[in-house]
Amino acid sequence: MSDKKNRRIVLASRPTGKPTPENFRFEEAPLPAPAEGQVLLETLYLSLDPYMRGRMSAGRSYAKPVEVGAVMEGGTVARVLASRHADYAVGDIVLSHSGWQTHALSDGAGLRKLDPAAAPISTALGVLGMPGFTAYAGLLTIGRPKAGETVVVAAASGPVGSAVGQIARIKGARAVGIAGGADKCAFVRELGFDAAIDHRAPDFTARLAEACPQGIDVYFENVGGAVWDGVFPLLNDFARIPVCGLIAQYNATGDFPGPDRLPVVMRDVLSKSLTIRGFIQREFTDQRPAFYTEMAQWIADGRVRYREDVVQGLDRAPEAFIGLLEGRNFGKLVIEVAKD
Amino acid sequence: MSDKKNRRIVLASRPTGKPTPENFRFEEAPLPAPAEGQVLLETLYLSLDPYMRGRMSAGRSYAKPVEVGAVMEGGTVARVLASRHADYAVGDIVLSHSGWQTHALSDGAGLRKLDPAAAPISTALGVLGMPGFTAYAGLLTIGRPKAGETVVVAAASGPVGSAVGQIARIKGARAVGIAGGADKCAFVRELGFDAAIDHRAPDFTARLAEACPQGIDVYFENVGGAVWDGVFPLLNDFARIPVCGLIAQYNATGDFPGPDRLPVVMRDVLSKSLTIRGFIQREFTDQRPAFYTEMAQWIADGRVRYREDVVQGLDRAPEAFIGLLEGRNFGKLVIEVAKD
């Protein structure tokens, strides 16, 4: 047992614009003992994901915000330290949603046992977890890429984007990835994308157009912002735009300056018969079994590869999360909270 | 035979902003004689529709623009005046796409024979034609209203909007219509809509919210502009927005002033899992047989009613069309070019 206390990070205050370290507070509490029907979990890995920015704000989203003073929410991989639950034994590894803390009690609801022999357990937070499933369900159900079509995705070195492009390739489509900086672009090319474009390049728009000579049939939207403006004119008739995230605008405050782009977008929605469809992976829960089977096979076959950005220690979660919103991570960002 | 000349209206120049009478020019030409395999058609009714505004501009749309100097495009109901085509006899009534002119030759491509005993022939341009089919296909394929859901449509006294609301009711949904002025709103209520809201009312937004106490599940978009701003905050999770027209912005020129509404819309697309889907009815051609059967039955049963705004004489087409873009028509606008 790594610790006799539960260390946790709570939301100290709601950010205005970019989160700062002051929005987070560290607390310690005695390790709780499981009641009948409960397990005590020790967090091994904590997932950091862009959606958490939404939970820090009070505004309406698809989920309730984290209350000020409450533990920051997050997916975790954990080990059972003590069990009074018939289904779990000490030492079991589980996928949980314990949040930003070293330990948590659970009554088993929402837990999923992991087989450490089948895949590295941290992948349950990435390519074989929520981000991978987001890519899978959004691309295949909403994007529906056909062989020969062009699929564009931003944040292409990240856990969602990298899976989107690789699955698009498996389906016979061309995959064009957008990423920030030469290293990330090189990695995206290594993954087998047909092209990788640096959104920081001054001629980004021209390069993107060059990489999409047949236009864009599917734009998997997970960033918004300036990337959208480069993609939008290249959309083909009947293009599909699964909207999974808008990380570029999560920190925005107040009105957005003009001109108003909405009428222009709506004009093309009409004239090109575009589909813009927001989603959250929970909606497609019935596809999870197929996802686990297919994705595990694709990984085993080497057709889907992934990269993790592992940061050591819960204490670094706030700084790592702030960096995530600025694109400073490289691969799926996870905090290694305790050694496996 | 009503005339020995073909009178026609050509596009004289492309409008900047609102079309004016000067954008149109009247011409006369000798009546052509049909060659082998052709028919000579006499236009009885000409349909005027908002999409024609798009054809007057050179900008990209889902169809090619009308060339300057060419006859304005448009759906027509016509009578066969002379025939050298095996399938058509003199006196046959056909649905055609002859444009803004009194006569035209056709080789039969795209013609559809109409049965004057089955329905008033002008309805082939309205409730039993392209506008009715637009409503049917867009609402049922993209909107997919479920019993108890709320469907909102603007231009609700027009040929598309009135059909949308009545079909929504047939499917068990609540129908809320938006129209301009008390007379149109009264008519929309007569059609059986659950509520009709005047978009010119100073408290339009509040009234719309009041008429949609459970929010909006389907917004059939055919106007854009200020109506969108009233509808948008009321959209429910998983709302569907078939985009069929944007008449409020067809005459716009240059940039649209800020603030930029796009990021706000995209934020809700994401947080509410909205679907925004542009379409043109041609895409759903395989549904036409079902449409003709079902819509004819609904009309026979009195479950779908319609209103026509018949203007006498081809000469009045430009002024009637300009009025259409300002909402001055009341019902499906058709020009009676020659007496039936």
Look at strands A174-179 and A150-153 and give their pairing: parallel
Percent of chain A beyond pLDDT 70?
98
- CA closest to B274 among chain A residues: A278
**Residue in A246, A262, A282 to test binding to B, most B beta-carbons within 10 Å:** A262
pLDDT level of residue B2 (50, 70, 90 thresholds):
very low
The string of pLDDT tens digits covering residues A150-199 is: 999 999 999 999 999 999 999 999 999 999 999 999 999 999 999 999 99
Judged against a pLDDT cut of 80, whether residue B177 lies above it is answered with: yes
Q: Is A266 in Cβ contact with B249 (below 8 Å)?
A: yes
Q: Give the number of other CB atoms < 10 A from CB of residue B199.
A: 24
pLDDT for position A2: 46
Do A275 and A312 reside in the same domain of the chain?
no
Do A103 and A217 reside in the same domain of the chain?
no
Q: Is A263 in Cβ contact with B256 (below 8 Å)?
A: yes
B253 touches A at CB < 8 Å: no
pLDDT level of residue A206 (50, 70, 90 thresholds):
very high
Domain coverage including residue B167: 130-285+292-298
- CA closest to A138 among chain B residues: B273
Do B115 and B50 reside in the same domain of the chain?
yes
Do B139 and B240 reside in the same domain of the chain?
yes
Are A209 and A184 within 8 A, CB to CB?
Answer: no
Q: Give the number of other CB atoms < 10 A from CB of residue A86.
A: 8
Q: Is A257 in Cβ contact with B262 (below 8 Å)?
A: no
Bridge partners of B80, per DSSP, are: B41
Number of domains into which chain B is organized: 2
- Secondary-structure percent of chain A, ordered helix, strand, coil, rounded to 5: 35, 25, 40
pLDDT for position A62: 64
Rounded CA gap, B227 and A75, in Å? 41
**Nearest-CB residue to B266 (from A237, A243, A269):** A243
Judged against a pLDDT cut of 70, whether residue A60 lies above it is answered with: no
Q: Is B263 in Cβ contact with A258 (below 8 Å)?
A: no
Judged against a pLDDT cut of 80, whether residue A3 lies above it is answered with: no
Judged against a pLDDT cut of 80, whether residue B3 lies above it is answered with: no
Burial of A337 from C-beta contacts in 10 A (0-12 / 13-18 / 19+): buried
Are A56 and A65 within 8 A, CB to CB?
Answer: yes
Identify all chain B residues contacting A275, using CB atoms and an 8 Å cutoff. Answer: 275-278
The string of pLDDT tens digits covering residues B288-309 is: 999 999 999 999 999 999 999 9
The string of pLDDT tens digits covering residues A130-156 is: 999 999 999 999 999 999 999 999 999
A93-118: average pLDDT = 96
pLDDT level of residue A255 (50, 70, 90 thresholds):
confident
Do B122 and B136 reside in the same domain of the chain?
no
pLDDT for position B252: 82
Residues whose CB is less than 8 angstroms from the CB of residue A87 and which lie 6 or more positions away in sequence, other chains included = A108
Do B37 and B71 reside in the same domain of the chain?
yes
**Nearest-CB residue to B263 (from A61, A224, A271):** A224
- CA closest to A249 among chain B residues: B263
pLDDT for position A64: 85
The better pLDDT of the pair A123, B4 is held by A123
CA torsion angle for A229, A235, A239, A245 (degrees, to 10)? -20
pLDDT for position A1: 46
Do B122 and B138 reside in the same domain of the chain?
no
A215 touches B at CB < 8 Å: no
**Nearest-CB residue to B277 (from A244, A264, A275):** A275
C-alpha pair distances (Å), B120 with each of A125, B130, B136, B308 = 64, 15, 20, 11
Identify all chain B residues contacting A224, using CB atoms and an 8 Å cutoff. Answer: 263, 266
Are B65 and B58 within 8 A, CB to CB?
Answer: yes
pLDDT for position B255: 85
Sign of CA dihedral B221, B223, B225, B226: negative
pLDDT level of residue B1 (50, 70, 90 thresholds):
very low
**Nearest-CB residue to A246 (from B266, B275, B278):** B266
CATH for A49: 3.90.180.10
A223 touches B at CB < 8 Å: no
Is the pTM for the entire model greater than 0.95?
Answer: no
Do B79 and B146 reside in the same domain of the chain?
no
Rounded CA gap, B10 and B67, in Å? 9
Do B114 and B134 reside in the same domain of the chain?
no
- Would you list the DSSP string of A152-164? EESSTTSHHHHHH
- CA closest to B63 among chain A residues: A271
Residues written for chain B = 340
B321-340: average pLDDT = 93
Are B224 and B247 within 8 A, CB to CB?
Answer: yes
Are B111 and B94 within 8 A, CB to CB?
Answer: yes
Rounded CA gap, A81 and A90, in Å? 5
Judged against a pLDDT cut of 70, whether residue B62 lies above it is answered with: no
pLDDT for position A251: 81
Judged against a pLDDT cut of 90, whether residue A65 lies above it is answered with: yes
Look at strands B275-278 and B235-243 and give their pairing: parallel
Judged against a pLDDT cut of 70, whether residue A229 lies above it is answered with: yes
Residue A116 to chain B, least CA–CA distance (Å): 34
Q: Give the number of other CB atoms < 10 A from CB of residue A138.
A: 31
Q: Is B271 in Cβ contact with A274 (below 8 Å)?
A: no
CATH for B152: 3.40.50.720
Lowest mean pLDDT among A56-65, A273-282, B261-270, B329-338: A56-65
Do A149 and A207 reside in the same domain of the chain?
yes
Residue A266 to chain B, least CA–CA distance (Å): 8
Cα-flanking dihedrals φ and ψ of residue A273, to 5°? 50, 50
> What's B155-211 look like in SS3?
CCCCHHHHHHHHHHHHCCCEEEEEECCHHHHHHHHHCCCCEEEECCCCCHHHHHHHH
A279 touches B at CB < 8 Å: yes
**Nearest-CB residue to A278 (from B256, B272, B277):** B272
Do B263 and B235 reside in the same domain of the chain?
yes
Do A83 and A178 reside in the same domain of the chain?
no
Lowest mean pLDDT among A46-50, A265-269, B60-64, B89-93: B60-64
Residues whose CB is less than 8 angstroms from the CB of residue B236 and which lie 6 or more positions away in sequence, other chains included = B150, B214, B215, B216, B217, B272
Please give the ipTM for the structure prediction: 0.91
Give the DSSP H/E element, type plus range, for residue B104: strand B103-106
Residue A143 to chain B, least CA–CA distance (Å): 13
Rounded CA gap, A153 and A160, in Å? 9
The string of pLDDT tens digits covering residues B119-139 is: 999 999 999 999 999 999 999
Bridge partners of A46, per DSSP, are: A76, A335
Amino acid at B338: A
Judged against a pLDDT cut of 70, whether residue B257 lies above it is answered with: yes
